[in-house]
Amino acid sequence: MQGTILHGPGDVRFEELPDPKILKPTDAIIQIKATCVCGSDLWSYRGVDTVTQPTPMGHEYCGIVQEVGSEVKSIRPGQFVIGSFFASDNTCIICKQGYQSSCINREPVVGAQASYLRVPLADGTLVPTPGYPSQELIPSLLTLSDVMGTGWFAADAANVKPNSTVVVVGDGAVGLCAVIAAKQMGADRIVIMSQNPNRQKVALELGATDVITERGAVGVSHAKELLNGIGADSVLECVGTLEAMMQAVQIARPGGYVGFVGVPHGIELNGLELFFSQIHLHGGPAPVRRYLPMLIDLVWNGKINPGKVFDMQLPLYQVAEAYKAMSERRAIKVLLTP
Amino acid sequence: MQGTILHGPGDVRFEELPDPKILKPTDAIIQIKATCVCGSDLWSYRGVDTVTQPTPMGHEYCGIVQEVGSEVKSIRPGQFVIGSFFASDNTCIICKQGYQSSCINREPVVGAQASYLRVPLADGTLVPTPGYPSQELIPSLLTLSDVMGTGWFAADAANVKPNSTVVVVGDGAVGLCAVIAAKQMGADRIVIMSQNPNRQKVALELGATDVITERGAVGVSHAKELLNGIGADSVLECVGTLEAMMQAVQIARPGGYVGFVGVPHGIELNGLELFFSQIHLHGGPAPVRRYLPMLIDLVWNGKINPGKVFDMQLPLYQVAEAYKAMSERRAIKVLLTP
C-alpha cells in the first residue's frame, strides 16, 4: 500500500509501504475512506518537536473494516467505523470513568494517512456508524476521530452550560469544533479569538456570537469588557502556547472554568497566579472514545456539521501539499481521500 | 487596646495600639473572643514573605459585635459572629456564584490577633451563630473563620463524593480539617500524608483511614498502590510547596481532582505534565463565607469538632510564644484568648 512518512522538518513523503497486518488478536485492519492532517502533526513537520527517524503520520481516520483478529468480538468486516487517535480497551477502571485516552492498555494509533491502517484494541476503540454513510457525511464523521471530539472535550472540561458565556482561544479546526460544541451545549455567548477573517467567518457560521481580534493583555481586557466586566464562565484553550494558555486563565472569571486541549508547548503555569485566579482547570488528550457514540448520532441526524472545518480537499497522494497548506495557514484543515 | 504586630522575621510583639474605629458606614467593630495563628502567618514570620513595615497580624476571629456603621442592616451589637479572612459584600456577581474571596469589593481582614477588630462589609462578611455559644464550642467556631472553611473548600474543589478515595497532602490544621470535610462528604478511603506521629494520631481520630509517611516519588507510588494502582479520585493539597503540589498532581488518577488551598510558594506547573495527567485542578483562597452557615450548623449540632486542631492554648498576650511553637512545629495550631 501507500502511506505518509515524515523524514524530517518539512519533508513529508507519500511512499510505498508494507501492508499493515494483524499483530495481536485484538487488532483490526481498516481500509481508510478519509483521513486528514492534524494541527498537532505540524509541531513535528515544523521541527518544533524533533523527529529522529522516518515516522508514519496520521491519527485521524474512518473507513471500512477489512479484517479482524481472532479475539475481536463486536467489530466485523464490512462495518464503517470511526476510532480515536488513542486505542483503548474501553473496559479498564480508567476507561469506565470516561478517560479512555489514559486507558491502562492504551496505544497510539499511527499511520492513518495511508490506504490501510492497523487499529489496536478494535473492540474498545472502533465505533460503527448506523449504516454506510452518504458521501456528504464522511467529512463530518472523520472529524469525530479527533478534532470534533477534542473540541467537545474542551467545552465539557470547561463546564459549558445553557446560557453560559464562553470564550474560545484558537481558530484552528479544534477551536471551530469547540464553537460547535459550545453552541450544542446551549451557551448564550460564544466569543472566538481570531485574527483571520476567513476563520472568523466560519466561526460565526458555526455559532460564534462575537469576535475578538486582539491578543495578550488587550485581548484579555476586551473579553472581560464584553462579559460583565468579570470574564467568562468557560474558556476553551485550543492552541497550546503559553500566550494562549495565559489568555485563557486570565479571561475566565473567578470560579470559572478553563478547558485546555491544545498540546502544551513551553507552558509553565505560575502557582500563585493560578491560585488567585480561582479558576477550574481541566484538559489533556481528549477522551474522544467517550463522545463517539453521541457525536455519531448528532452527525447522523444532521444536528452538527463539523465537516465544515475542511476548507481544502486533496487526493491522499498529495499529502505533502496538505501539510504545506496547513503550515502556511492557507487551509484550516485538509481532507485527504485515498 | 492591645494587639499583635510583626516587625520583622521572628519578631512578633504584643503591644499597645489605637482602638479600631468605624471607618466606613458598612464596618463593624467586634470584641475578639478567640483568635489564632495561621500557617500562612508563618510565611512572613519566617521571612519567606518579606515584611517591609510593622504589620498587624491575624485574620481568624470570632467574637461579639460592639458597634456597627450606619449602613449595616443585618448585623447588630451583641451578636456572636464569625467572618472570613476576606471581607466580601456577598451580593456582587462573583459572590453570588459562591466566590466571595474574589468579591469585587473584597478587603482583607487584618489585625485579628488583638482585643478588638474592625471588619469591613459587615453585613456580607459576618455570620451570627444561633445564640451565644458554650465555651467548648468556641474553638470549633473559630476554625470556621479560615482553616475549617479552607479544608472544606479543598474537599469541595476536589469533588469528594460518597465512597470516593481521598488523599490529603499536609498535616497542618488545614490538612486535618480537610480530613474532617472528606469524612463528612462520605469518602470511603482517606489517606493522610504525614511524617509526624502526633498529627497522624489526630488525623486518624478525625477520620483518616490510612497514613503514608513517605514523600516524593516513593510517597506517590505508595499512594497509588493503596488506591487500585491508579491513584486517588480526589487529592487535597494543603501545603503550598512545589513538592506537595507535584505529589498531589501525580497521585490523582486520570480524570481525578486536585483541590489546592496551600498558598503557593515557588510553584511552577509544567503544562505538558498537567495535560497528560488529565486531572481537574481547582483551588485558591477559600470562599469561606460560602460555607459559614452550613459549617456553623454542623458545629452547633455536634456533627464536627474541628476545634481538635488546637493542641495548645495561650492567653493572647503570649502570642509571640504561639508563633514560635507553630514555627518549630511543637504545636499544630495555637488558640489565643484575650
Asked if A128 reaches chain B (Cβ–Cβ under 8 Å), the answer is no
Q: Which helix (H) or strand (E) holds B64?
A: strand B61-68
Low-confidence ranges of chain A (pLDDT < 50): none
B179: closest CA of chain A, how far (Å): 21
Position B317 confidence tier, pLDDT thresholds 50, 70, 90 = very high
Crossing angle, helix B197-206 and helix B173-184, to 10 degrees? Answer: 20
Cα separation of A35 and A308, whole Å?
A: 15
Quote the mean pLDDT of chain B.
97
pLDDT score, position A273: 96
Residue contact A272–B253, C-beta within 8 A:
no
Only one residue has cell 498529495, namely: A318
DSSP assignment letter at B332: S
Whether A167 and A316 map to the same domain: the answer is no
Q: Which residues, at least 6 apart from A45, have a Cβ–Cβ distance to it below 8 Å?
A: A6, A9, A10, A12, A323, A327
Asked if A98 reaches chain B (Cβ–Cβ under 8 Å), the answer is yes
Residue contact A272–B267, C-beta within 8 A:
yes
Asked if B98 reaches chain A (Cβ–Cβ under 8 Å), the answer is yes
Crossing angle, helix A173-184 and helix A147-157, to 10 degrees? Answer: 50
pLDDT score, position A44: 94
Cα separation of A231 and A235, whole Å?
A: 9
pLDDT score, position A26: 98
Whether A12 and A92 map to the same domain: the answer is yes
pLDDT score, position A94: 96
CA B52 and chain centroid, separation: 25
DSSP assignment letter at B124: H
Mutation for B interface: A238, A277, A278, A280, most B CBs within 10 A: A278
Amino acid letter, B299: V
CB atoms within 10 A of CB A80: 20
Whether A164 and A124 map to the same domain: the answer is no
Q: Encode burial over B258-279: b for 16+ CB neighbours within 10 A, e otherwise.
A: bbbbbbbbebebbbeebbbbbb
DSSP assignment letter at B209: -
Strand partners, A80: A64
Report whether A138 contacts A97 (CB < 8 A): no
Q: Which residues, at least 6 apart from A271, have a Cβ–Cβ distance to it below 8 Å?
A: B240, B242, B245, B264, B265, B266, B267, B268, B269
pLDDT tens per residue across span B169-228: 999 999 999 999 999 999 999 999 999 999 999 999 999 999 999 999 999 999 999 999
Whether A247 and A292 map to the same domain: the answer is no
Report whether B231 contacts B223 (CB < 8 A): yes
Give me the percent of chain B exceeding a pLDDT of 90: 98
Residue B79: strand, helix, or coil? coil
Asked if A140 reaches chain B (Cβ–Cβ under 8 Å), the answer is no
C-alpha cell at B119: 471588619
Secondary structure (H, E, C), chain A: CEEEEEEECCEEEEEECCCCCCCCCCCEEEEEEEEECCCCHHHHHCCCCCCCCCEECCCCEEEEEEEECCCCCCCCCCCEEEECCEECCCCCHHHHCCCHHHCCCCEECCCCCECEEEECCHHHHEEECCCCCCHHHHHHHHHCCCHHHHHHHHHHHCCCCCCCEEEEECCCHHHHHHHHHHHHCCCCEEEEECCCHHHHHHHHHHCCCEEECCCHHHHHHHHHHHCCCCCEEEEEECCCEHHHHHHHHHHEEEEEEEEECCCCECCEEEHHHHHHHCCEEEECCCCHHHHHHHHHHHHHCCCCCHHHHCCEEEEHHHHHHHHHHHHCCCCCCEEEEC
Report whether A320 contacts A334 (CB < 8 A): no
Mutation for B interface: A174, A237, A281, most B CBs within 10 A: A281
Whether A330 and A277 map to the same domain: the answer is no
Q: Which of A268, A277, A283 sits opposite B275 (nearest CB)?
A: A283
Whether B23 and B125 map to the same domain: the answer is yes
Report whether A334 contacts A310 (CB < 8 A): yes
Whether B90 and B184 map to the same domain: the answer is no
Chain A residues with CB inside 8 Å of B240's CB? Answer: 271
Asked if A275 reaches chain B (Cβ–Cβ under 8 Å), the answer is yes
Domain range for A214: 148-283
Strand partners, A259: A236, A282
Positive or negative, the CA dihedral B137, B140, B143, B149 is negative
Which residue from B303, B331, B296, B323 is spatially nearest to B138, judged by alpha carbons? B296
Determine the average pLDDT of the residues in B102-115. Answer: 97
| Count of the separate structural domains present in chain B | 2
End-to-end CA distance of chain B: 11
Q: Which of B94, B268, B271 sits opposite A253 (nearest CB)?
A: B94
Whether B245 and B198 map to the same domain: the answer is yes
Residue contact A281–B284, C-beta within 8 A:
no
Whether B185 and B246 map to the same domain: the answer is yes
Which residue from A83, A130, A150, A164 is spatially nearest to A287, judged by alpha carbons? A150
Q: What is the CA radius of gyration of chain A?
A: 19
Whether A271 and A297 map to the same domain: the answer is no
Asked if B272 reaches chain A (Cβ–Cβ under 8 Å), the answer is yes
Determine the average pLDDT of the residues in B74-86. Answer: 98
Whether A73 and A153 map to the same domain: the answer is no
Residue B318: strand, helix, or coil? helix
Q: Which of A245, A270, A278 sits opposite B284 (nearest CB)?
A: A278
Determine the average pLDDT of the residues in B81-102. Answer: 97
CATH of the domain at B293: 3.90.180.10
Whether A7 and A137 map to the same domain: the answer is yes
Cα separation of A287 and B94, whole Å?
A: 32
Residue contact B284–A270, C-beta within 8 A:
no
CATH of the domain at B250: 3.40.50.720
